[in-house]
Amino acid sequence: MPWFHRKPEPGFDRERLQPAVRKSFCNREMTLGFIEKANGRFHSYCCAYSQEEVEDFCAKYGINPQELKSFY
């Protein structure tokens, strides 16, 4: 049954993708994901409401938190 299968994890290719966080002004929500370097398209992965969730995302993909590009 297809609804019991997990979605595959997004691949992280440092040559093709850049880690990024999109921040919201109104509710302080942060959307974590990756930006394609070729065309600038943002692919969202998950929402984070605390710094611990951002650190978990960075640890999962081996990203230094200073590498995250922030935009609004």
- Which tens digit of pLDDT belongs to each residue from 32-68? 999 999 999 998 888 998 889 999 989 888 888 888 9
Give dist(CA 31, CA 57) in Å, integer. 11
Q: Does residue 6 have a pLDDT over 70?
A: no
Quickly state the pLDDT bin for 19 (edges 50, 70, 90).
Answer: very high
Task: For residue 53, give the nearest of 71, 18, 28 by alpha carbon.
Answer: 28
- This prediction's pTM: 0.75
DSSP calls for 16-58? TEEEEEEE-TTT--EEEEEEETTT--EEEEEEESSHHHHHHHH
> For the CA atoms of the chain, what is the radius of gyration?
13
